[in-house]
Each structure stands twice: as C-alpha cells, then as structure tokens.
Structure 1
C-alpha cells in the first residue's frame, strides 16, 4: 500500500537516500554525531553534541541578547531580559526552600511568564510540572496533589479556579500569581512582586543563577498525559529528553536539504506563531527548546482566532506556525485570507493529530509553504519521527521516518513478536527522548516501558525505507464483524471531499456486528454536503464495510483536548438514537 505523491516532484529527487543522508550527517566530527550512553541501565544511542541541561541552555540563550524571545499583546521580552527574570525567580525559589527534585507546578495560558517559570524551576534542579490550563479546578487540584508540588506558579484565571482548594493541598506551600489585579492572600503572592512586569525585566540585576549541580539524566519535568481515558498520568522527563529535541529538529531539517541535493545551511533565527499550549510537549519540548538554541522568536496569542493569527503573521513576518491540522485548515478556508500578506510563511507544521493528504497539497500550493508533520507523544517528549519538505509531499499519509537517534519496531499483540515490514501492529519506540516512566505509578510504568522501549498504543506499519504510517490508536479502531476499520483511512477519504474541513470516525454499538463505523464532520464556510453524498463519496473509494452507517454534522470544528486530539468519546453521544436501537 504505497503513498501517492501530492505533486510532481523535481527531477532527480531524492538526490540521496535516507541511509546515505543519515550517514553523512552523523559521521564522526559532524554536528549530529552519535555515541552510546547508559540510560537507566540500557545502552542507548544519543546525540553526542546535545546540550547537557536546561540550565546550560538558558544560560547560553543569553547570548542572543536584544533579540525578541517572546511577543505577546504588544509586550516584547528580549533574551537578555528573560534571562535576568529567570535568575531573579530562581533565587526567590531557592529562598522559599525549593531544591533539587522538588516539584513546582505551572498553570497558565501561553504568557511570557510561562517560559520564565519553566526555566527558573529547572535551572535549579527542581522539577517543573506543567498543568493543563484547560483543566477545571478539580482537575488542576488532582495534578497538584498527584505531583506533590510545593510551589504553584499560576495566572489569575487558574488562580480563581484553585484558590478555594489550596487548603486541601498540604504539600503546596507557596503560590505565585501572574497578572493579578488585586494582591492575593493566604499562600499566594503576586509574581510581579518578585520579578516586576515584563517591561521591567531587562532592568533586573545582572547576576548569576543560584548554584546547582545537574546531571543530564536528572529529573526535569512531569508532563501529564491527555487523559482521554482514565486519570492523567505524569510522564517523568529528564534534561536529556528535552535537549534531545534540539538536535532531532536540526537533524530532520538538515536531512531534508541533503535529500534535495543542497548543503544544509547554519540555523538562523525564525519567527514562530506559537498557538499550541506550552504545557504540551509539542510546544515546550519540540518548539521552545529550539527557539532558545537558535535565538528565534515566539509570538503568543491569548486565544486562537483566525483573523488575529493572519494579522500577526503579517505584522511580525511569521515564518513558521501550526500545531494541529485544524489551524492550517482554518487559515486556508478563511474568506478574508486574501486581505493579508502571509508570504513570510515558510512552513506550517503540526502534530498531535493525523492530517489529510489534501491538506498537505493545499498548504504547498496555496501558501507556497512546506508542510511538516511528525509523530511523538507525551511519553517520548515529542519528536520521534519527522516528516518535512519533499518527503512529506511524496508520502502525504506518512508520519515520516525516525530521527537518527530513535529506533522503531512493530510488535504483535503478544507483546513479543516483531512483525515484518509493511505489517500492521503496535508501534514501539526507543531512544534518548523516551521518559523514565510514570510518576508514582510503578505498575503502569512496568506495563508501558520495557527495556528502554515505550509501548505507544498506536497501530502502525513501517515501509521498506523506514517511513512510519500511523493507522489508528488501538482503542479507536472500529471492529465490525471481525473486520478491522482503521479510522484514519476513512477520515482521509472524507477530508478529500471539498466540503469537509474536520472529521472523525467513531465506533457505535451493533447487536450482531459488535460495532459499526459512524462519522462526524464539520463543513467549510458556505459549503454543503448531505449524509448520502458523503457516504457515496466513501463508497466509491473504500470497501463497503468501511462506509459510515451514519454521519452527523457539527456547526463548529470538532471538540479537541489541549493536545489537539479529537475527543471521540464526546462525539459518540451524537449517535445515541442508533445506540439505543442497537441495545
């Protein structure tokens, strides 16, 4: 089952095989040279030149000086100002008694204070615990309790959800509140009283970070899984996990140049419109680490709005954006797109959700930008595979090949047998990006992490060149009368219909077949399509048993969690009439 290229690729492409490009980039003495390291008793291939720690990274980032690090609602924070604020907050945390291994939670929207808090915490050897800003007060309380956080750094909105719950969290000793109107009381105090407003960060004292000894494999973060089923689990990450992404991202970009027959240029600063939340590994690990390394700029939005995004792309000359496919679709489909100069866009990349081949083509043809995708998860601290440029145009339904420091395999249901090329099974991943395990959950850790490998729960196949094709989440596959229906296959066909911009396939109960496929779709503005029309569209392209037996239409894009994953369990309620009839 081969991919079909989206466009006619240049003659002579690829100029170099993946194996040859990897060999050249990772040769001794090269930037992407690898070596072996012992990680938790497992000999692991790692990037030799990866930065040693988050502390090292934030200290090095000071060298970018007066370049803008963050832009938010008219506020501009330079790398120098950010570093001075990190130092001030780090000293304050030490004065509060925070030390190596202590947990400090962060709960706020994308604000300049978010990276400030993250680097101040990790630079002193404490563990940053980014909490989902979309969570309710009860869910935030769970994260604080489960992690045993001693300090919480929070914005005013999350503070309002939590302030009546602080007394029920005995481990929580201090709360620092950003952007609060009135002085907080009790455990809480204003973050401004420690570092001042963002506009004054550059005037803070010039002094070094507090002393701290940090090893590459020391604990650094607890990112909570999306929790689409059951309570979220805290994935315990290390400094190495996050630093790996800097080299992984650079390697993927360099590999694309070699495949094109060009020499990779030295990294240059870029401007990114960062719309995915920083509490997700895609934004924090895969994006922000590279921003500090290259002196790039992150432009934040208070909340996603397509028109506001186009205004910012034009004003800030944004080079890169994305996050999840929905963002790209909304930029493409907006009727006012022609009013804005979006010519600065060089790439639109996304992860966290599958994308339709049709989206890949339209990004390239209508924006003149290169699409980008990849595969990773909270447990891999983001990037394991990376899919960019012509390789993506050539295999638009793939998640790309793994980066050189990662290994992948497809394993049968017995959890032991490795399956041959092209066979669908569970995807397992190994490398320096894999987290240590789950915080305080030894049984779940033992079930998911095996001898350096993580069992992903994704069903996938790998082709003869190493390109990965994610077929489905194991729990999302629809089993109809013994026949497997992989939702992504049906969703890609629906996405190819000119009226469909968002869709999901779900399984609904059936008395004799067990399950049947049903779909939920969102149409582009001004577009029309009937259930029968879409069913016929699928029937012309796929086997009859894969055709949705029912299609429901949503006026808005489908509900997603903060990580960009469609909440399929919420969509099943739209088919309650059919479920009751099947009972």
Structure 2
C-alpha cells in the first residue's frame, strides 16, 4: 500500500503545490530555471560570511561570469562534470550555481575527505574541471596533474593552513605562461570574478531530463556511491522545503509567505543534501544564509544576535549544544523562530528542551531525507512534532511512501518514490538495481511504520537491527531510552556476536562531565522502560566523543572495534 502527503489547501488544482503526473505542476523544471529567478531579489543580502555580505545580484552576476568562463574559455559542454570541493565559503555557491547555469553536472565533494578519498571519487566521476578552495588543492593536485584536468582555486590563501601546505603555485601548470590558456592544460589558476551584469548566463540548453548533480553517499557502510539526480529531481527538491514552510504556516494559522523572509544560520556543510534542503528554502524566499567557518556554540549565539537569525539548521548534536549554551548563558534567542535538525536521527529529548526553554515560540522541526531523495521528503514540525516527537512526519505531495512486508506491528522496510529521487548511482548498475525496484521504488534500508493518519516513524536501520535469539531489537529505541538518562550525553547501540543467541545488545555511552552513574544503573534505567531482551548485556563508557562522520551519523563499525578491544 502506497501513500502520498499533501495539504489539500496547497495541493488542489490551481494551488501553488498542485501535482500533475507526479511532479509539481507550477514548479521549475531545472535548477537553471530555479536560480535565474533569484536575480530579481536584487540588493537583498543572500550570503553572510566572515568576509562580508553578498547580495543576490552580486551572487548571480558572479555565477553567470564563471559559467561563461567554463563554457567559453574552458570549452566545457553540457554533461561534463564539475567538482566543487570547498568549505562553506560564499564562493561555493558561485561555483555550484555556475555549473548549473552552464549545463554541467555539479559534483559537490566532502570537503573533509582525505587525499585517498578524493582520489576515489575523482576516478569515479571523471570531472572535466575542479573548483576548489586553497585548503583542498594539496589533496587533489596529483590527481589533476596525472589526468590533465584543470582547476580554479577559490580562497587560495587557505592553502597556507592546509595540512600539507600546498598552494595554487605548487600545482603543475600554474606557472605564468605554462600550458597556454587555463582550459588547455592541467593546472590551477586563481579565481578572478567576472560579474558583468549585462551578459547573463551562457546560451546552453538545460533540459529537465539532463543530469544536474552527483552527490556521494556518506559511506558509513562501505565505499561512497555517486547518486545522480536529474534537473527535474533537483527542481522537485527545491520545491519541497517551500511546501513544508507553507504547510507549517497553515498549521499555525498563518498565511503562507506573509511573514518576514528567513535569515538562516545553516551549519550543515554545503556538500550534504541536508544543506540543500535548507538553502533551497532560503533562496526561494529571498532570504539570507549566514555561514560559520567552524562550529562553535558560543559563536553561533553571537551570529544569531548580530544578524537577527530566525532559522537555525544543523545536525542534532549542534542543535543540542546551541540550546545548552543558550540556557547556560541566559540567551533568550529572541529572534529565533525555528530550530530545524537533520542529517541524523533527532533524540526525542530535543523537543522537550525547546519547549522547556522557549515554550511554543520556538518551533521545532525534524524530518527525513537521504542523498538518494535529494534532501528532505518528510517533515515533522511545530505542534505535530511536540505531540509526536518520535515521528519524522508526513511526506511532500510528490513523494509516495510504502512499507514493504510489514510485520504484525506494521514495521517493514520504508520504500519511497517521487519527483526528487535520484535516477541511480553513477557507473554502478549493480548497486542501482539493488536499491531500486523496476517500477521506481527506492529501498531505503530503514525500518519504519506509517500511522493511520500518514505520519511516518523510523524504527531502525535494517543493518543496525539486533536479532537476539529471534527477537528484533531496534537500536534507535534503546538509544533513545539511554539518552533520556540525565547523565548520558550520547549513546550508540549495536549488536555483538553471541554463541547461542546469535547476537546480543551492546551499548557505548558518553556521560556528562562529573557524572557518577554506573553501568548497572544504566542497565536498570533501560530495563525499567523496555523488555528485558532489549537491555544491553554490555555497556562501555567512553570519555571521548562517539565517532561520527562529518554529517553527524554514528560510525558503528568503529565502535564495534572498541567493544571487541574493551576500550
């Protein structure tokens, strides 16, 4: 049985989010079409960073100039891949959107990858140009020289801070007069803005069925795969946050789009799809995106006060740290109206923390999305989130939800289908066939159930579920209970081998500084709330933070090694 979401006030024929043939009827069909509209926001501030402010017109003119250069000077053509590898600089957006305006396939790579990880992805997607900041040059220069691929360096001064100290001048082909024109030979040249407002984007055909992005999965269970989204899919992803914002406004009794434009402190790295959901929503409304070079809760509070930030977006860990620092310092967060988390499962306690400190004024939001869905496709917000903190909400009107082979409790694998889903994995037909059914359903690998009113609750990952003597133990359920203990800062639950039971439950926990709670007390805390077979047989207490990838997901394979060693 499949179900779709959608408030009829927003999705009826002629309404802003009406659906026709499975796609938004009045939405853009390409990312080029989406971004061309923002020029009309003119002198409104789009990007705020440590280097200053960039208006929409300045941003769009710069993106057009770079797009013209990629097409004219570098000779790139639609379908060529353009890697974007930077930290959260304003120029990340110039580079990404220039690729879209030029009809190229943008490949935003994880800025924290090592040289080996970059090499793997570069070999896989075979880009025609590298758009990198100075800190990334040293990690890609050997690949670029070996494959004769040119590059443009943004924020070249950052190279001095890179681990290997490599700068643009160290890369073969960057010496003046060497290799001729920049596009003619491998080499990195500094980015020189071209913001002529009269020339606009290059004249290229960008069609809905063309590929727009390749975004690599986080690789928590193996080598990353390049998920390929068409322009039509990304255009749907750009509409989804607009729909969620409109639905939330109606739920509050407000008129959608009638309030002030958002000012968002978005702390997700731009290469992650959770960031796409955030900046798509900001751009569509003509809002402002405030950036941080490095996460720091105290600095985040300063930025919220300084720029009158209305929306916060980040992984649950940073959201909790922000709330804790605000409580400790007495910061009222008086400009903030929305605290949105994503990228990893949100602990139920985050809703209670928001309500305790700020009542209903500060709206909580979480949701569900994957690299393969091009960002968030389910959302739980406001009063609904407070009432159902364990749910990830309802789907967009262009997203179908299905539970495959549900058990007696309605729990089965979550399957999704809809406009914003990727078409498959780059150069990997085997993985594509394994992940997608013949009729287009994506097998998420998450265990979930759907309530009678359409709310979706994620129960666990299929690969994380512990089967103890034939009984299914959903790790996220045990983790949530552990995190409800006042002395527990973080927790991870996983299965370890057992000669008779097959597996048994183990937990790794991090306690707050000065906590005196013992292992037996933690096990008793779980046992008072869950069945005995769900109580961890092994509990390991760590002083250091639990290992997570850059987007906040627990790296349980590393924790298994710690459990095996008893450290």
Whether TM-score is above 0.5 comes out as yes
Contact 1:434 1:452 in 2 (8 A): no
Distance 1:422 1:66, change over 3 A: farther
- State the match for 1:41 in structure 2: none
| SS of equivalent to 2:503 | strand
- State the match for 2:219 in structure 1: 227
- Is 1:449 aligned with 2:436? yes
* Structure 1 residue 529: Cα displacement: 2.4
Instruction: Select 2:17's aligned residue among 32, 41, 52.
Output: 32
Q: Structure 2 length normalisation: TM-score? A: 0.91
Instruction: Select 2:193's aligned residue among 181, 192, 195.
Output: 195
- State the match for 2:117 in structure 1: 139
Distance 2:296 2:415 in 1: 37
Contact 1:153 1:176 in 2 (8 A): yes
Q: Structure 1 length normalisation: TM-score? A: 0.88
Matches within 5 A, 1:384-463: 384-412=377-405, 419=406, 422-450=409-437, 451-463=439-451
Contact 2:4 2:400 in 1 (8 A): no
* Structure 1 residue 445: Cα displacement: 0.8
Contact 2:145 2:187 in 1 (8 A): no
* Structure 1 residue 356: Cα displacement: 1.9
Contact 2:482 2:526 in 1 (8 A): yes
Distance 1:49 1:523 in 2: 50
* Structure 1 residue 107: Cα displacement: 0.9
Distance 2:465 2:566 in 1: 19
Gaps of 5+ in 2: 158-166, 174-185
Distance 2:419 2:407 in 1: 25
Gaps of 5+ in 1: 1-17, 37-44, 413-418
* Structure 1 residue 527: Cα displacement: 4.0
Distance 2:419 2:24 in 1: 8
Distance 2:407 2:20 in 1: 28
Aligned length, in residue pairs: 538
Distance 1:543 1:458, change over 3 A: same
- State the match for 1:163 in structure 2: 141
Distance 1:262 1:183, change over 3 A: closer
Distance 1:391 1:102 in 2: 44
- State the match for 2:355 in structure 1: 364
Contact 1:508 1:572 in 2 (8 A): yes
- State the match for 2:291 in structure 1: 300
- State the match for 1:534 in structure 2: 522
Distance 1:392 1:228 in 2: 28
- State the match for 1:48 in structure 2: 25
Distance 1:300 1:337 in 2: 23
Distance 1:139 1:578 in 2: 29
| SS of equivalent to 2:270 | coil
Greater Cα shift, 569-578 or 508-517: 569-578
| SS of equivalent to 1:117 | helix
1:295-314 C-alpha deviation (Å, 9 max, x unpaired): 11111111111111111111
- State the match for 2:301 in structure 1: 310
* Structure 1 residue 259: Cα displacement: 3.5
* Structure 1 residue 217: Cα displacement: 2.5
Matches within 5 A, 1:97-112: 97-112=75-90
Instruction: Select 1:91's aligned residue among 51, 68, 78.
Output: 68
- State the match for 2:279 in structure 1: 288
Distance 2:5 2:315 in 1: 31
Structural RMSD (CA): 2.1
Contact 1:357 1:492 in 2 (8 A): yes
